[in-house]
Structure 1
């Protein structure tokens, strides 16, 4: 039971942290709960379908179907998160001004929510399919108490994700969009690095030195802090050179794009009284 709980916990934690960052980044956007909830439901449904067709997937890609599937999902999520980061660079000030001045939900972010719905769905799809495949294998091997382990893992992983979300909401509004945008950039870079690792495993990309360093003695990939750092900032105790290339390229592309867009956007002016009303510290 506890082996099942640990694996499910790690998979749920990865999806939960991604969902938490997305939910916090869309704070104040109208109907964001509906979009995020729909993304979770779509991802869970897709995970079941992927698990049922696992044999066909592996056969279609000569045994590397799982690696290609994971890499494809991760790269799609990187593109969608990147689009949202650039969109927020253009509209973030406006959203912040409206939230501070009116203290009500902002509706102009709905277009970006469609892409973030897909990011949530892809995160749940990838982690959910791995959970289902693992549980199927454990059941075939005669393992017992699967439901107990599943329940413990889901509750524990979701609880940690919610704790991160609650912490992000405590950030003062004047810093909120800057912080969450930075988290999304690091999240996208980490996902790109992980996609590169899957492509290396499938022998579709050269490793370019494997590993570049080994920091497992300080922070192992399998530990809870290491797993959390891997999800949020792309930490890897033993990365390949190609992973670093993907990571740095994604960081640079989003940073340059945001700077270019941010430089074209006129500064938003918020009255001191409105800012004081919106800041929880006041």
Structure 2
């Protein structure tokens, strides 16, 4: 549930920021709410299509073996999570500035009203599609039941929407870059945990050597079945009895994604909402 809530919260906040920036920049335009609402609806419908395609792909690939298929889904989710963090680290501010320019162009009459629906719809579609693929990876890893994922998704939507509204109305003065720094770190560890789980599936399918069975065993101190163990397993990929290959994949994921984020970020392109 925690992983679902974190991912959904992050994506909803990003979509809400785009919507809020466009709405703020186009203030005074007649029927802007109708066009922005149409864009949101279109983006959500597109995300539903992506969800349907994901289920279809699972049916087609069912014959390749459950462990191999689960590993492919997990590594795809890891790649998308990493790309997402790196891209936002580099282009977050540029995206906010671009949305502001679109809103002002509509306000001045330089661009048609439907431009609001297009930019908002694409933003919602992008974030919604990412949520679908990420949650499919979580489900493949067996991280939680459908009820817990629905609960986490509802929590993420509620918190993300509330924060987006708060930012839009100017009631929150905490710089958004701090919020995204925290969520980027959480998503980084989520990706590392998914990579380790994917490696475990490949070991089960005899596609990878274990590089040592149960390199350590901390079950006596902290079981994965305990409440704290489950929370740490979700948030940071804690495994009580990891194989060596799982450790390699975990550390490599942290090093690669974290290194790319530091390289492209440089502290000067963090995501900030436009005023």
TM-score (norm 2): 0.62
Pairing 1:230-245 to 2, within 5 Å after superposition: 230-245=233-248
Question: Is the 8 Å Cα contact of residues 206 and 242 (structure 1) preserved in structure 2?
Answer: yes
Gaps of 5+ in 1: 1-11, 132-148
Partners of 2:219 and 2:161 in 1: how far apart?
30
Question: Is the 8 Å Cα contact of residues 197 and 246 (structure 2) preserved in structure 1?
Answer: yes
Quickly say closer, same or farther: Cα 1:48–1:130, change in 2 above 3 A.
farther
Partners of 2:200 and 2:188 in 1: how far apart?
19
Match of 2:224 in 1: 221
Match of 1:79 in 2: 79
- Name the SS for the 2:18 alignment partner: coil
Pairing 1:159-198 to 2, within 5 Å after superposition: 172-198=175-201
Match of 2:18 in 1: 29
Match of 1:8 in 2: none
Quickly say closer, same or farther: Cα 1:43–1:108, change in 2 above 3 A.
closer
TM-score (norm 1): 0.61
> 1:22: how far off?
3.4
Give the alignment's Cα RMSD to 1 decimal: 4.5
Q: Name the count of aligned residue pairs.
A: 233
Match of 1:208 in 2: 211
Quickly say closer, same or farther: Cα 1:173–1:122, change in 2 above 3 A.
closer
Gaps of 5+ in 2: 20-38, 105-115, 165-171
Deviates more, 1:214-223 or 1:25-34: 25-34
The CA deviation string for residues 213-248 of structure 1, in whole angstroms up to 9 with x for no partner, is 222233322334333322222121221111111111
Pairing 1:87-106 to 2, within 5 Å after superposition: 87-94=87-94
The CA deviation string for residues 97-118 of structure 1, in whole angstroms up to 9 with x for no partner, is 8999xxx99x989878766544
Pairing 1:239-254 to 2, within 5 Å after superposition: 239-254=242-257
